[in-house]
Structure 1
Amino acid sequence: MAASFTCLANPPISLPSLPEPITNNAITIVNSENRNYLLSFNGLLKGKDHKSVSNKAFMLRVGDKSWQGINNVPIHQPINGLTGRLASVATSIKDNAYIFGGYTVAKDHSEVSVPDVYSFNVKTQKYTLLAPMPVPVDDSIALTYQDRFIYLVSGWHNDGNVNLVQIYDTKTNTWQQASPFPGKPVFGQAGAIVNNKMLICDGVRVDVHLDKRRSYAAEPACYLGSISLKQPNKINWHKVAHPTGVARYRMAATGVYSANSAYFIGGSDNPYNYSGIGYNGAPSEPDSKIWKFDFNSNKWQLLTSATATMDHRSLIELNNTLYTVGGMLKAQEVTDKVIAQTTITP
């Protein structure tokens, strides 16, 4: 059973808006020398067409009045001259943010998954090219374990979804495969990790038909993975009850250690292309629901956020508050807002 509540409690810290509206951006937070840095990489600008696909990057040192532009995210080899990409994912370990993949969009709407992996050091403000993904994925998730390993779970690779769980080792700059994702392969899913437990929910599957082209469909399903304490590539997966039975696409999610919980915020129940128009031709609208999963009890709570929002890659935890950074609001409006969505509850 899922209990229903409404949040926001105490007033959160107000954070400045991004320098410009951007959505589908890879975001993360880095803590270095007791300072917090919010980072945004790649994404889609407000034009919402192939010309709006960007590799712009921004950084906010929390406490400053404004974000600063930083060097654009490099690309090792431009794809047909294209450098911007969508659906990258990012996470952080110590002084570094890590940025994975994404896809380019050409004028003819062709899309190519980019294999690149970069670290960005907040002290030096420099990028370092790292070992590429063995199987390039976009619209995936990046989850950090033991301040060393980063797990990429499922996602889209050029022509279809993959069930792979790829582990990047930040100490050795190498990759290995983990126990595969047990559900239907998806893109646009959301996930969170606390200690050795990860939770992956929803996304979009590909359905194949006899008499027509393949189609995309929302996949309402959640899977809990427990990483072996001795072998980080061994994951014991099992399915858990879905909180509502209705899938949401491109939610913002993160694991909160203080609450031993995973939070999933926003998203849309109508999967869409990058413009925010659904695969079914209908405009997609954001959701204001929050799902909170307690790793102790394996139970859900249903909350309500301050602002309906969608088209996210992750969620920021700062000072007991969860924030979305950019994304889309109602009527597919690309926003520059950093929105305090909810306070963290025990």
Structure 2
Amino acid sequence: MTGYWGKGLIGLGAIVALIGCGQELAEPPVSSVAEFELPIPISNNAVALAEGPDGPTLYSFNGLKSGKSWQDTSNAAFACIISIKECEEIAPVPVDEGRLASSAVTLAGKVYLFGGYTVAENGDEVSTPEVFAFDPKTKDYKRLADMPTPVDDMVALPYRGRYIYLVSGWHDEGNVSLVQLYDTEFNTWSVATEFPGKPVFGHAGGLANHSMIIADGVAVAGLVDGKRKFAAAPFAWRGDIDPGDPERITWRAVDAHPGGPQYRMAAMGDGDRGMILFAGGGDNPYNYNGIGYDGVPAKPTERVFGYDLKADQWTELAKLAEPSMDHRALAKSGENYYIMGGMDADQAVTARIMKFRIDD
């Protein structure tokens, strides 16, 4: 990553039409721009939902502010209370520099925040090792055991209310195939079965029950004039976890989703549906300003789709009213899914919070 920076920025969308199981629904699902927004525009932010003092609350950590320069990397944090439709700035992540491409996961009432990368004035980037547990009740951060291999732009997945997987991602000078496994009960790290696909950053995925889906991302495709060339990786892998040993994952390639690879989709596993959901994403790997590494501006997608774990196939679910890209994760409260911040179709950083539903 040294020598270039900014692996994505996101926008937000609203759903206006939905197709389920190949049949058009008579009534589209509820979808809208939420009636509240983040205090400032922020993109490439880590997102999670947890039970706060005032009920279900959306949290945003780190990210990139609207100036989109190295000086606009942020460690700011925000809490958005769903019931009263209000957002407030809370204590920042306790690090000296802003972070891009960090990940957040909620387990047992706490939000676990992993890594990210810093950007220097000369463009140098460093993957950071920090792990924090944020307590929504006290709004305090607790420093935990560092990642053995610092990664950013990885996929972070919760499992069984105890474990968190970090799948692939970028480490300082290149992508890694590691699947790092964090045990929240003992604050320890181990290594799970290695990711068999081409190592990537900016990929997306989710975990439901005992299975995960990892899709797309950006791979290093060689050197051109001494500089790395980046290319979209149009693939999907299914990882089935051994219920008796969380370090054992049986991986197999599955069909890539229709419509071509997307960069930095919002994604999550939904155990109730037995599905991994994906929304938005950019059609061209891009730098911090939303312009592709090839000089072509990235175009966000309006698609929402999912991988049905039982049927072992992709399902087209919805269409966003406004295309979006550069998300870290989806969040869900009740029947509503949320996307916080990001970039719009003009590569402008936004404070919008979008919500949508998917009818059965």
Q: The TM-score by the shorter chain falls in which range?
A: over 0.9
Corresponding position: 1:20 with 2:40? yes
Aligned length: 338
Q: Could you tell me which residue of structure 2 aligns to residue 325 of structure 1?
A: 340
Residue from 137, 146, 149 that aligns with 1:123: 137
- Kindly state the Cα deviation for residue 307 of structure 1 after the two structures are TM-superposed: 2.3
Q: Is the 8 A contact 1:220 1:245 kept in 2?
A: no
Give me the whole-angstrom Cα distance separating, in 2, the residues matched to 1:33 and 1:146.
24
String of CA shifts for 1:314-345, please: whole Å, max 9, x gaps: 001122122210011111011100112x4223
RMSD, aligned α-carbons: 1.9
Kindly tell me: are residues 338 and 4 of structure 1, through their superposed partners in 2, closer, same or farther at Cα, counting changes over 3 Å? farther
Kindly tell me: are residues 126 and 34 of structure 1, through their superposed partners in 2, closer, same or farther at Cα, counting changes over 3 Å? closer
Corresponding position: 1:201 with 2:201? no
Corresponding position: 1:316 with 2:331? yes
Residue from 171, 191, 195 that aligns with 1:177: 191
Give me the whole-angstrom Cα distance separating, in 1, the residues matched to 2:88 and 2:108.
21
Q: Could you tell me which residue of structure 2 aligns to residue 286 of structure 1?
A: 300
Corresponding position: 1:236 with 2:250? yes
Structure of higher RCO (CA pairs closer than 8 Å, 6+ residues apart): 2
Kindly tell me: are residues 111 and 169 of structure 1, through their superposed partners in 2, closer, same or farther at Cα, counting changes over 3 Å? same
Q: Could you tell me which residue of structure 2 aligns to residue 60 of structure 1?
A: 80
Q: Which moved more, 1:287-296 or 1:218-227?
A: 287-296
2:205 is paired with a residue whose SS is: strand
TM-score by length of 2: 0.90
String of CA shifts for 1:34-81, please: whole Å, max 9, x gaps: 921110000000001101100000011221232111111012xx4xxx
Kindly tell me: are residues 238 and 96 of structure 1, through their superposed partners in 2, closer, same or farther at Cα, counting changes over 3 Å? same
String of CA shifts for 1:81-107, please: whole Å, max 9, x gaps: xx1010000010122101000000111
Kindly tell me: are residues 211 and 34 of structure 1, through their superposed partners in 2, closer, same or farther at Cα, counting changes over 3 Å? closer
Matches within 5 A, 1:43-54: 43-54=63-74
1:144 is paired with a residue whose SS is: strand
- Kindly state the Cα deviation for residue 214 of structure 1 after the two structures are TM-superposed: 2.8
Kindly tell me: are residues 211 and 24 of structure 1, through their superposed partners in 2, closer, same or farther at Cα, counting changes over 3 Å? closer
Q: Could you tell me which residue of structure 1 aligns to residue 29 of structure 2?
A: 9
Letter in 2 for 1:43: G
Give me the whole-angstrom Cα distance separating, in 1, the residues matched to 2:99 and 2:23.
37
1:186 is paired with a residue whose SS is: coil
Q: Gaps (5+ residues) in structure 1?
A: none
String of CA shifts for 1:270-314, please: whole Å, max 9, x gaps: 001122111011111211011211111011122312321111100
Q: Which moved more, 1:269-278 or 1:163-172?
A: 269-278
2:100 is paired with a residue whose SS is: coil
Matches within 5 A, 1:1-346: 3=22, 8-10=28-30, 14-31=34-51, 35-75=55-95, 78=96, 83-209=97-223, 213-244=227-258, 246-302=260-316, 303-340=318-355, 342-346=356-360
Q: Is the 8 A contact 1:58 1:70 kept in 2?
A: yes
Letter in 1 for 2:82: V
Q: Is the 8 A contact 2:33 2:352 kept in 1?
A: no
Q: Gaps (5+ residues) in structure 2?
A: 1-20
Give me the whole-angstrom Cα distance separating, in 2, the residues matched to 1:8 and 1:313.
26
- Kindly state the Cα deviation for residue 9 of structure 1 after the two structures are TM-superposed: 1.5
Q: Is the 8 A contact 1:103 1:138 kept in 2?
A: yes
Give me the whole-angstrom Cα distance separating, in 1, the residues matched to 2:51 and 2:179.
27
Give me the whole-angstrom Cα distance separating, in 2, the residues matched to 1:187 and 1:334.
21
- Kindly state the Cα deviation for residue 5 of structure 1 after the two structures are TM-superposed: 5.8
Superposed structure 1 runs of 4+ greater than 3 Å apart? 2-8, 10-15, 209-213
Letter in 1 for 2:119: V
% identical equivalent positions: 43
Q: Is the 8 A contact 1:267 1:310 kept in 2?
A: yes
Letter in 1 for 2:164: I
Q: Is the 8 A contact 2:54 2:81 kept in 1?
A: no
